[in-house]
């Protein structure tokens, strides 16, 4: 089965994540360097590399959103402006380092005089780092990259996006809900885009007693870059 032809090369590359998680991808690789125990060492080395690169980051805002967002999209302009504002307030900006909203975030950070960080990931299609990244860290494994976002961010600002964006959003609120990390702002940009999700969480998930009212309050929805920046700065991280 082919998944989402629009984001894949005609001959997709087998990534290290696939080799680790998909048993069929490793079935014909008897070389000990391709075994899971060897991959644990590579994962460990990625943690070391990421921590070394970002150890001096004290306050940062992670900006998430679709890689497919074009430069003429209003959300691109909003992400760029949001990043500029938080950079002017002394925050670094961390993105996935790729195109779309990620590019807008890194671009705005640079324009605001802040540190622009990209945590790029190996994908089954080529994703080059955008030209606005000052500090670039490349990862093979999603688990390591996701840890870096959580560890070094004081807030998440989440613009419209797809499955990857939803993954980052829900993981953040889960970690806050379960007390695995300190409470920090999780800001959803665009009530028109995110309103349906929040309504479903309220009317279905909360109504079914699967979350608490306080869990729903972990999410903030804003519609201007100024409101997004204020939500970040109000936490005083």
| pTM of the predicted model as reported, rounded to 2 decimal places | 0.84
β-bridge pairing 155-158 and 219-222: unpaired
- Work out the percent of the chain whose per-residue pLDDT is above 90: 73
Higher pLDDT, 10 or 70: 70
pLDDT at 147 > cutoff 60: yes
Average pLDDT, the chain: 88
Confidence band (pLDDT; 50, 70, 90) for 40?
confident
How many CA atoms lie less than 13 Å away from 153 in the CB half-sphere? 31
3-state DSSP assignment of residue 187: strand
Mean pLDDT to the nearest integer, 168-174:
95
The pLDDT value recorded for residue 1 is 40
Are the beta carbons of 142 and 17 closer than 8 angstroms?
yes
Q: Which domains occur in the chain, in start order?
A: 59-234 (3.40.50.450)
Query: Among 27-31, 143-147, 193-197, 230-234, which stretch is predicted with the lowest mean pLDDT?
Result: 27-31
pLDDT at 235 > cutoff 90: no
The pLDDT value recorded for residue 237 is 58
What is the dihedral angle through the alpha carbons of 147, 164, 195, 149, rounded to the nearest 10 degrees? 20
């Amino acid at each position: 089965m082919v998944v989402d032809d629009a984001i894949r090369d005609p001959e997709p590359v087998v990534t290290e994540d696939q080799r680790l998680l998909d048993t069929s991808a490793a079935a014909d690789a008897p070389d000990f360097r391709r075994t899971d125990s060897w991959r644990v060492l590579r994962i460990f080395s990625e943690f070391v590399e990421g921590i070394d690169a970002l150890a001096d980051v004290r306050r940062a805002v992670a900006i998430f959103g679709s890689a497919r967002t074009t430069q003429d999209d209003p959300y691109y302009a909003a992400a760029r402006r949001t990043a500029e504002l938080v950079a002017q307030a002394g925050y670094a900006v961390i993105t996935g380092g790729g195109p779309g909203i990620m590019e807008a975030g890194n671009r705005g950070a640079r324009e605001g005089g802040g540190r622009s960080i990209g945590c790029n990931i190996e994908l089954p299609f080529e994703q080059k780092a955008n030209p606005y990244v000052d500090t670039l860290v490349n990862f093979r494994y999603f688990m390591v990259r996701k840890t870096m976002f959580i560890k070094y961010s004081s807030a998440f600002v989440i613009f419209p996006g797809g499955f990857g964006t939803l993954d980052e959003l829900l993981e953040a609120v889960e970690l806050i809900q379960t007390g695995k990390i300190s409470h920090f702002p999780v800001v959803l940009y665009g009530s028109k885009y995110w309103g349906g999700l929040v309504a479903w969480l309220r009317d279905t998930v909360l109504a079914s007693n699967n979350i608490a009212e306080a869990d729903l309050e972990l999410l903030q929805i804003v519609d201007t870059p100024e409101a997004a920046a204020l939500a970040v700065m109000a936490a005083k991280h």
